[in-house]
Amino acid sequence: MLRYFTAGESHGEALVAFLSGVPAGLKVDQAFLDRELWRRQQGYGRGGRMKIERDTAHILSGVRHGVTIGSPISILLENKDWKNWQESLPVEEGDPTKHKRVASPRPGHADLAGALKYNFPEARYVLERASARESAARVAIGGLAKLLLRALGIEVLSHVTSVGTASIANKEIPWDEIATLRNREEGLLNCADAGAEQRMKEEVDHALKTGDSVGGVFEVVAHNVPPGLGTYAQWDERLDALLAAAVMSLQAVKAVEIGAGITAAASPGSAVHDEIGYKKTESFAGFTRRRNNAGGIEGGVSNGEDIRVRGYLKPISTLRRPLESVDFATREPVKAAYERSDVCVVPAAGVAAEAMVALTLARCVLEKFGGDSIGETLRNFSGYLDQLRQY
Ligand X SMILES: Cc1cc2nc3c(=O)[nH]c(=O)nc-3n(C[C@H](O)[C@H](O)[C@H](O)COP(=O)(O)O)c2cc1C
Residues at the contact surface with ligand X, assessed by CB under 6 A = 47, 108-110, 130-132, 135, 250-252, 314, 316-318, 341-342, 345, 348-349, 352
Q: Which is nearer to ligand X, 110 or 154 (CB)?
A: 110
Q: Which is nearer to ligand X, 25 or 215 (CB)?
A: 215
Least distance from C-beta 317 to ligand X, angstroms? Answer: 4
Least distance from C-beta 362 to ligand X, angstroms? Answer: 21
Q: Which is nearer to ligand X, 142 or 304 (CB)?
A: 142
Return the percent helix, strand and coil in the chain, to nearest 5.
35, 20, 45
Q: 362, 226 in Cβ contact below 8 A?
A: no
Q: What is the DSSP letter of 84?
A: G
CB-based contacts of 247: which residues, under 8 Å, 6+ apart?
A: 220, 253, 256, 309, 311, 353, 356, 357
Residue 70 CB burial class (10 angstroms; 0-12, 13-18, ≥19):
middle
Q: What is the DSSP letter of 282?
A: S
Least distance from C-beta 342 to ligand X, angstroms? Answer: 3
Q: Which is nearer to ligand X, 312 or 369 (CB)?
A: 312
Least distance from C-beta 108 to ligand X, angstroms? Answer: 6
CB-based contacts of 62: which residues, under 8 Å, 6+ apart?
A: 19, 22, 68, 69, 70, 71, 72, 73, 74
Closest CA relative to residue 359, chosen from 9, 18, 13, 16: 18
Least distance from C-beta 86 to ligand X, angstroms? Answer: 22
Q: Which is nearer to ligand X, 130 or 151 (CB)?
A: 130
Q: Which is nearer to ligand X, 58 or 314 (CB)?
A: 314
Closest CA relative to residue 56, chosen from 137, 155, 135: 137
Q: Are strands 287-289 and 333-335 parallel, antiparallel or unpaired?
A: unpaired
Q: Which is nearer to ligand X, 75 or 316 (CB)?
A: 316
Least distance from C-beta 101 to ligand X, angstroms? Answer: 17
Least distance from C-beta 175 to ligand X, angstroms? Answer: 24
| Amino acid code (one letter) for 24 | A
